[in-house]
Chain A
Amino acid sequence: MNNFWRRLPIVRQLRQSVGLQRGMLIAGVTITGFFILVAVLAPLLAPYGFSQLKDADGTFGAQVPPGGKHLLGTTVGGYDVLSRVIWGSQTALEVIVVAVLLSIFVGVILGLVSGYIGGWLDRTLVVIADAVYAFPTLLLAIVAAIAISGGQSSLWGGVFAAAISITVVYIPQYFRVIRAETLRIKQEAYVESAKVIGSSTGRIMFRHVLRNATRTIPLIFTLNSSDAVLTLAGLGFLGFGIEPTAAAEWGYDLNRSISDVTSGIWWTSVFPGVAIVLVVLGITLVGESLNDLADPRLRTRRRADVLPSPTAVTSVAPGGSPLDADLAVDALEGRA
């Protein structure tokens, strides 16, 4: 059981890291974990509904300063800021999940097939991927938003608009990474050895290549997520987002608070803004530190500044000595 925990992705990296890299990873994991927790528990945490304008004591009133009944004040539309921020995390999480699920499957499959089979299929897919690269995300998102919702704004219309535009842009990213890894792995001796055994192409692709090619996925995954959040916020800010009655959305709240900024009403813009920044920062920190830790050249280790204790293992390569090759392997195993 203990061993199982140590092998889990983030847990393993946490044990491996030291110093600044460990700090970055812990900060990132904490922020991201907090965000997910808030999103899931939004109905319990939020004091009011996201579209609630009044309670038993009457309407909230517009632009009420923080304090009293409204911990973070109310917006120009009369919504409770704290509730909007908390409910907004749920919308953001939905966009992340939909965007990542859509792009990861299509991108990985296309990259694998394109890289392994090659030929004209590969060339065509690479050209298309390059063309999509050149397409601006936000413009695509606006087009998708109009097409999907048909002018009406709804929760899932807004979520899918952001998710689909992110998907279209991120498929080429997954595609490129998986294709490059596949091309590399195709040359490895274990793929050739599967070929001389007589394995079918499908078996080689999915059993031998796919799992070895997914090493860098977590990194794009984090980029993909933070971009999804930013695009959703951008859509909302431009007015193509979700109506406040359908769901809470940070970009929309920022848009509504533009005029407040110059009149000294700070609470309507700062809190949704901080929420966006924190989520993106948290996810990016996780991605960055995973990236550094995955690369042995970037990974920092504790320096051996104490005199080696007698228990230190002296053998460097397990195969180095004919005498105790087996012993050395056992020693390595024991430490792992």
Chain B
Amino acid sequence: MSRVVDIENLEVTFATDGGNVVAVDDVTLSVDSGEVLAIVGESGSGKTVTAKTILGLLPETATTRGAIVLNGTDVIGLSPEKLRAIRGVDVAMVFQEPSTALNPVFTVGWQIAEGLRAHGRLSRGAARAKAIDILGRVGIPEPEKRVDYYPHQFSGGQKQRVVIAMALVLEPELIVADEPTTALDVTVQAEILDLLRRCRDEFGAAIILITHNMGVVADLADRVAVMFDGKVVEEATAEALFSKPQHPYTQRLLAAVPRIGTGGARAAARVADRVASGTTNTAAPVVVARDLVIEYPGRFGRSGFRAVDSVNFSISPGEVLGLVGESGSGKTTIGRAIGGLTKITGGSLRVLGHEMLGIRERSFKPVRSDIGFVFQDPASSFNPLLTIAECVAEPLIVHGRARDAASARPRADELLEAVQLPRAYGDRYPHELSGGQRQRASLARSLALEPSLLIADEPTSALDVSVQARVLELFAELQKQFGFAALFISHDLAVVDMLSDRIAVLWQGRLVEEGTGDEVLGAPKHPYTQRLLASLPVPDPVEQAQRREQLRLLRQND
């Protein structure tokens, strides 16, 4: 074991409009060869900045102090020339979003060769041969042919493989992977994690893995450093960290991670509540979909894209239906169709007694007051020029329950209190709130008219785990209090499990499985659900190793 990189007393300060901000504060870390160090933390903890400093990729506004010793040279304060010589050869980077890390107008072979030729005199043919070799080694089928493909001809997971191939081709001793699986679906994530594990075992590279996902950490990391507010608060081996977290922040972080199998009890309690209060499922369902088809029109001459294909489901009053699926499965499209944002093209969709096929906006408008909608991205779901109170008052004004924002203020304050935000926050602008607070305000707005149906489209996927836990709890409480029916859309099985009475699994526009949480997650019948479930990494290295084995068997059976 030799030391690959030594970070000593690193301190990074950014000059911003609001004064100087210390992003990394006195961080000391080291990585040995053949080791995976995971840096975990929530947004703003300084984990990405730490990693980028190793490659000297910080913007001009940053000032760095301390030392980063990479193979005997201190990277900090190195001239751009010398930095360029180090990048790629000694340390390489894998980015979060594979579709933006690759240049769309060059073939992947050319892009791999570019890195090779930047660091040595290599003939075109030799570079190409090397590119083909490395593509084969990262698991791209038919590398001889696909070396001449353009990035758009690969799927998201394959693109990430290409990015990893580019990082590996010069055989660097250290690979910095910044959230390498965050943009990928969970089944693809498992494959990329396998590949990264092979990078360590076969190529002998040390890896610094930056992530916020505790499951990913448990799957891959040897050692873990937990960062909070620019400082490393805890550093331990993966086993020690997950079994005995020392720092209170680590403990809270681990406790906040949603786990599968906790939802059954909650769902049972909710059903018992409903039976006790007399609202049983005999009432007419609020949403019924029969052979629902939604097609997006194609361009000239091409046939349209069928996003949702003969889907059947229903939501009873007061019931929470969890809709799970990966990107492109059509889950968001279904949510938008129920909210009247996307037109349906076939079958039947009845929302609160109104048939949505060919409905006119005018006749749907009164129904809208009975539907609430929570959007995915808390950053853009509020008009930046209106205060929170004005935003929350909008539905009241539009539907004539209040004359203007001022007269709606008492009701807005009540709503803000219902979502556990102080009244004074009503006078703030959206950018003055954190993501979790904004998402709570978004809940307040959607509940302003006390709707009988709420559609929540990935409401927590943009939030940090600890914030997510609080928002989910609040959602459950409000559901109990207001008793609305809900369609909860998410890509995360564990999150859906926490809240839903029933779970529906979508795959390529089709509904492949539906049932209670215990049925779908306890004994999945469809092979896709089984794979989805097995791919989900759990925050426990020992259990995760077993699950990995299980997933491998599942894949072999396919």
- Chain A residues at the B interface, C-beta cutoff of 8 Å: 16, 188-190, 192-200, 203, 207-208, 211-212, 299, 301-305, 307-309, 312-323, 325, 328-329, 332-333, 335-336
From B46, B366, B369, give the contact of A316 (CB < 8 A).
B46
Q: Which of A211, A302, A317 has the most CB of B within 10 A?
A: A317
* Contact A189–B377 (Cβ < 8 Å): yes
Does B25 make an interface contact (CB < 8 A)?
Answer: yes
In the complex, residue of chain A having the shortest beta-carbon distance to the beta carbon of B338: A196
Return the 9 tightest CB-CB contacts between A and B, nearest first: A319-B434, A317-B44, A320-B44, A198-B368, A316-B44, A189-B381, A196-B373, A304-B20, A322-B466
Distance to closest chain B CB from A180 (angstroms): 17
Distance to closest chain B CB from A296 (angstroms): 8
* Contact B229–A315 (Cβ < 8 Å): yes
Distance to closest chain B CB from A203 (angstroms): 7
* Contact A318–B394 (Cβ < 8 Å): no
* Contact B432–A316 (Cβ < 8 Å): no
Distance to closest chain B CB from A68 (angstroms): 54
In the complex, residue of chain A having the shortest beta-carbon distance to the beta carbon of B371: A196
The proximity string for B residues 436-470 relative to A, scoring 1 for CB distances below 8 Å and 0 otherwise, is: 11000010010000000000000000011011001
In the complex, residue of chain B having the shortest beta-carbon distance to the beta carbon of A313: B21
* Contact B375–A301 (Cβ < 8 Å): no
From B44, B366, B398, give the contact of A315 (CB < 8 A).
B44
Does B354 make an interface contact (CB < 8 A)?
Answer: no
CA distance A55 to B14 in the complex (A): 66
User: Interface residues of B toward A: which range?
Assistant: 35 or more
Within B30-74, which residues are at the interface with A (CB < 8 Å)? Answer: 42-46, 61-63, 65
Q: Which of A189, A203, A312, A318 has the most CB of B within 10 A?
A: A189
Q: Which residues of B contact A199 (CB under 8 A)?
A: 394, 398
* Contact B381–A16 (Cβ < 8 Å): no
* Contact A208–B467 (Cβ < 8 Å): no
From B25, B394, B435, give the contact of A194 (CB < 8 A).
B394
* Contact B13–A304 (Cβ < 8 Å): yes
Selected interface stretch from B94-102, B146-154, B382-390: B382-390
From A196, A200, A299, A322, give the contact of B470 (CB < 8 A).
A322
* Contact B19–A313 (Cβ < 8 Å): yes
* Contact B341–A192 (Cβ < 8 Å): yes
Does B228 make an interface contact (CB < 8 A)?
Answer: yes
* Contact A305–B63 (Cβ < 8 Å): yes
* Contact A304–B437 (Cβ < 8 Å): no
CB contact under 8 A between A301 and B17, given known A314-B22, A317-B434, A319-B464: yes
Q: Which residues of A contact B383 (CB under 8 A)?
A: 190, 194, 207-208, 212
CA distance A299 to B383 in the complex (A): 25
Does B198 make an interface contact (CB < 8 A)?
Answer: no
In the complex, residue of chain B having the shortest beta-carbon distance to the beta carbon of A203: B398
From A308, A322, A325, give the contact of B22 (CB < 8 A).
A308
Q: Which residues of A contact B369 (CB under 8 A)?
A: 198
Within B393-413, which residues are at the interface with A (CB < 8 Å)? Answer: 394-395, 398-399
Does B290 make an interface contact (CB < 8 A)?
Answer: no
* Contact B394–A212 (Cβ < 8 Å): no
CB contact under 8 A between A321 and B368, given known A192-B341, A196-B340: no
Q: Which residues of A contact B464 (CB under 8 A)?
A: 319-320, 322
Distance to closest chain A CB from B296 (angstroms): 15
Distance to closest chain A CB from B164 (angstroms): 28
